[in-house]
């Protein structure tokens, strides 16, 4: 039996898809390969033995094949398979996707096959030949197919596997739905032979009037003219590539208006290299810390945050479109947020770009969650690759203020080394943002009558975040208004998760946790907000979570039924009582 198995060797093998995808794919000349694809469910992993990827047809009277893409299951791309067929609701395994498309490769151009994401592992075949592989369900990858395309009809096959494994990220157990499939856009991108492969256009880490620029062409050729034009500022950078095809410089502008949550200013930017030109919208802002304060453009900001999964609960499926992003972000904005934690993985580029236009700061993270094998070098390499892919895609998105490297991990030397390697990987690419991780290690010290946390690794972070479910998983050891915290007192602290479950419309005692009622959830929120007043270094809060979300973790037969009910909004889009409590709290914070 063949399974799609990935080791460190495969990650770096020549067939692996590029870990650093082309910057701003949506600003290029592309053809979408979305739509209905033919599909074969391969429960016992026999497709490789049968050479399904060759899509063979009977040619003689004695030929036959025990598979066919024609006349069977069809699945929407982008989309998850779990929500498209009742039989696939809980399916974890292999599905083969196939489709025909026409191509017209021309001399002097490159053709790049780009996937926004495939969950979780995949092998890519074009015209019967393996051309690439990728692991990681939430980040993009690409394959240069210039030499593999035929003029006219081509047949593309994607072998997708979402089986949970110990060495995956996330690993065997996680509290959200294990959606499988080609879950984001598939594109055939056309670029010149020597094209603008990568660029960074960012405001200096500390200066308010200096824009730093780095451009890399796809070929290591010296002497290529490169320009970056910011029309709204009347500024232009011109340079010439070195022998590596790179050029760096800066622009200074005293007229620059910085992006901020209450003023999301974006500029039209054109990056030109040789015969290639890419159009972009970019904002510029400074973000940093000063003691226990988070600063945006030098001003303290209290982060009024909420989290959501990349899921449309009313559809019970993965979010994938601009319309989906609009629904999720509008509900968050109505709550009064200035930040969203995109939990627990990088989400769709539509969501990121739309949040930027709306003026919402983003915390993005990779799914290093409970159960990760921190002793395994291959797992570490996967995490580093995921972090790299996340940062590379969104490094020009000024809305992204935080890179998250982990959630709810336990201290150990192996974990510390693992996470330090992620911080080193991230900071080697981007030092203009804040690095954060969320912990669930806060305990009540009865001798001192304080909430404390002991995890020396937090010294490596810019901002410390804590998940603490007082009143739900933890009973109150004293009155909430007397609950004082002493957790990383010299750093900004964000309460990254708190809350409890409630079934929309369910009434019950506000004193009984097991009532699963909106009344208890509302009281729990009031109690937690009272406690937050006693956290001297509190720099933001983020209730868990905006919407109820699907999770096989959740067994209760009447109150959960496969849903985590911690949402402020129900799976049908109905706002619970706690939603109004948080909205009022955020309105008061905004007006201070």
**Residue 10 confidence (pLDDT) above 50:** no
**Residue 11 confidence (pLDDT) above 90:** no
Cβ atoms of 320 and 182 closer than 8 Å: no
Say if 2 falls within a structural domain. Answer: no
Tell me: do 357 and 229 sit in the same domain. no
How far is 321 from 116, CA to CA, in rounded Å? 12
Average pLDDT over residues 562-579: 97
Q: 268: domain CATH number?
A: 2.60.40.10
Polymer length of the chain: 592
Tell me: do 344 and 400 sit in the same domain. yes
Question: Residue 407: beta bridge partners?
Answer: 438
**What three-state secondary structure class fits 449?**
coil
Tell me: do 186 and 204 sit in the same domain. no
How far is 173 from 346, CA to CA, in rounded Å? 18
| C-alpha pair distances (Å), 336 with each of 151, 343, 400, 581 | 52, 18, 18, 11
Tell me: do 48 and 135 sit in the same domain. yes
Average pLDDT over residues 512-541: 97
- Tell me the DSSP string of 508-553: --TT-GGG--HHHHHHHHHHHHHHHTT-TTEEEE--S-SB-EE-TT
pLDDT digits (tens, 9 = 90+) for 38-53: 999 999 999 999 999 9
How far is 487 from 509, CA to CA, in rounded Å? 33
Residue 131 confidence (pLDDT): 98
Say if 294 falls within a structural domain. Answer: no
How far is 325 from 339, CA to CA, in rounded Å? 15
**Residue 390 confidence (pLDDT) above 70:** yes
Helix axes 322-335, 577-590, angle to 10 degrees: 70
**What three-state secondary structure class fits 581?**
helix
Say if 292 falls within a structural domain. Answer: no
Tell me: do 403 and 469 sit in the same domain. yes
Q: Determine phi and psi for 96, rounding to 5 degrees.
A: -95, 125
Residue 17 confidence (pLDDT): 55
Average pLDDT over residues 279-285: 97
Residue 19 confidence (pLDDT): 53
Tell me: do 442 and 586 sit in the same domain. yes
Say if 207 falls within a structural domain. Answer: yes
Identify which of 546, 559, 545 has the alpha carbon closest to the alpha carbon of residue 506.
559
Say if 3 falls within a structural domain. Answer: no
The DSSP code for 214 is E
| Residue located via tokens 């979305």 | 34
Q: Place 591 in a pLDDT band, splitting at 50, 70 and 90.
A: confident
Say if 155 falls within a structural domain. Answer: yes
Tell me: do 203 and 352 sit in the same domain. no
Q: Which of 165, 191, 217 is the last residue of a domain?
A: 191
Q: Place 200 in a pLDDT band, splitting at 50, 70 and 90.
A: very high
Q: Which of 166, 191, 216 is the last residue of a domain?
A: 191
Cβ atoms of 155 and 98 closer than 8 Å: yes
Q: 172: domain CATH number?
A: 2.60.120.260
pLDDT digits (tens, 9 = 90+) for 307-355: 999 999 999 999 999 999 999 999 999 999 999 999 999 999 999 999 9
Tell me: do 421 and 399 sit in the same domain. yes
Q: Which of 191, 206, 229 is the last residue of a domain?
A: 191
Average pLDDT over residues 486-498: 98
**Strand pairing report for 311-312 and 361-365:** unpaired
Mean pLDDT rounded to a whole number for the chain: 95
pLDDT digits (tens, 9 = 90+) for 139-166: 999 999 999 999 999 999 999 999 999 9
Number of compact structural domains in the chain: 3
Neighbours of 258 (CB within 10 A): 17
Say if 1 falls within a structural domain. Answer: no
* Alpha helix stretches (DSSP H) within 246-348: 322-335
Helices then strands, each counted (H, E), the chain: 7, 37
**Residue 422 confidence (pLDDT) above 50:** yes
Domain membership of residue 577 as a residue range: 304-590
Tell me: do 52 and 182 sit in the same domain. yes
Residue 370 confidence (pLDDT): 85
Average pLDDT over residues 467-495: 97
Q: Place 364 in a pLDDT band, splitting at 50, 70 and 90.
A: very high
Q: 390: domain CATH number?
A: 3.20.20.80
């Amino acid at each position: 039996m063949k399974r799609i198995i990935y080791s460190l060797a495969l990650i770096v093998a020549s067939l692996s898809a590029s870990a650093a995808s082309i910057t701003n794919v949506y600003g290029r000349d592309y053809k979408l390969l979305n739509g209905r694809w033919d599909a074969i469910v391969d429960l016992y992993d026999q497709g490789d033995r049968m050479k399904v990827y060759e899509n063979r047809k009977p040619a003689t009277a004695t030929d036959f094949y025990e598979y066919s893409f024609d006349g069977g299951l069809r699945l929407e791309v982008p989309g998850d398979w779990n929500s498209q067929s009742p039989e696939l609701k809980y399916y974890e395994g292999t599905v083969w996707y196939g489709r025909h498309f026409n191509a017209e490769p021309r001399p002097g151009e490159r053709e790049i096959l780009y996937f926004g994401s495939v969950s979780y592992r995949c092998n890519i075949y074009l015209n019967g030949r393996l051309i690439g592989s990728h692991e990681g369900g939430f980040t993009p990858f690409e394959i240069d197919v210039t030499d593999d395309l035929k003029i006219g009809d081509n047949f593309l096959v994607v072998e997708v596997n979402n089986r949970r494994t110990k060495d995956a990220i996330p690993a065997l157990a996680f509290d959200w739905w294990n959606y499988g499939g080609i879950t984001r856009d598939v594109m055939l991108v056309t670029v010149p032979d020597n094209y603008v492969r990568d660029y960074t256009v960012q405001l200096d880490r500390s200066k308010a009037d200096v824009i730093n620029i780095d451009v890399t062409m796809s070929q290591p050729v010296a002497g290529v003219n490169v320009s970056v034009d910011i029309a709204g500022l009347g500024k232009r950078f011109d340079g010439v590539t070195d022998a590596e095809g790179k050029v760096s410089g800066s622009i200074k502008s005293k007229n620059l208006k910085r992006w901020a949550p209450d003023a999301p200013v974006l500029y039209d930017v054109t990056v030109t290299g040789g015969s290639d030109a890419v159009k972009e919208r970019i904002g510029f802002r400074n973000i940093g810390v000063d003691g226990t304060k988070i600063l945006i453009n030098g001003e303290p900001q209290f982060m009024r945050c909420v989290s959501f999964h990349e899921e449309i609960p009313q559809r019970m499926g993965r979010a994938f479109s601009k319309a989906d992003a609009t629904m999720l972000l509008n509900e968050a904005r109505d709550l009064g947020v200035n930040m969203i934690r995109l939990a627990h993985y990088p989400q769709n580029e539509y969501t990121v770009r739309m949040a930027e236009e709306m003026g919402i700061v983003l915390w993005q993270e990779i799914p290093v969650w409970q159960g990760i094998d921190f002793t395994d070098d291959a797992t570490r390499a996967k995490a580093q690759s995921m972090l790299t892919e996340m940062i590379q895609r969104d490094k020009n998105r000024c809305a992204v203020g935080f890179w998250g490297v982990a959630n709810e991990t336990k201290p150990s030397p192996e974990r510390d080394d693992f996470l330090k390697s992620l911080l080193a990987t991230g900071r080697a690419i981007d030092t203009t943002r804040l690095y954060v991780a969320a912990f669930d290690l806060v305990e009540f010290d009865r001798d001192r009558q304080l909430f404390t946390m002991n995890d020396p690794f937090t010294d490596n972070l810019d901002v410390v975040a804590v998940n603490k479910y007082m009143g739900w998983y933890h009973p109150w050891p004293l009155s909430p208004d007397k609950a004082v915290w002493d957790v990383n007192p010299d750093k900004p602290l964000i309460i990254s998760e708190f809350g409890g479950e409630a079934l929309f419309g369910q009434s019950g005692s506000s004193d009984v946790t097991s009532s699963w009622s909106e009344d208890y959830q509302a009281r729990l929120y009031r109690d937690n907000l009272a406690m937050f007043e006693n956290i001297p270094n509190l720099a933001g809060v983020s209730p868990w979570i905006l919407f109820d979300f699907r999770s096989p973790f959740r067994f209760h037969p009447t109150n959960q039924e496969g849903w985590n009910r911690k949402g402020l909004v129900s799976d049908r889009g109905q706002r619970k009582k706690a939603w109004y409590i948080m909205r009022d709290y955020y309105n008061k914070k905004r007006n201070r």
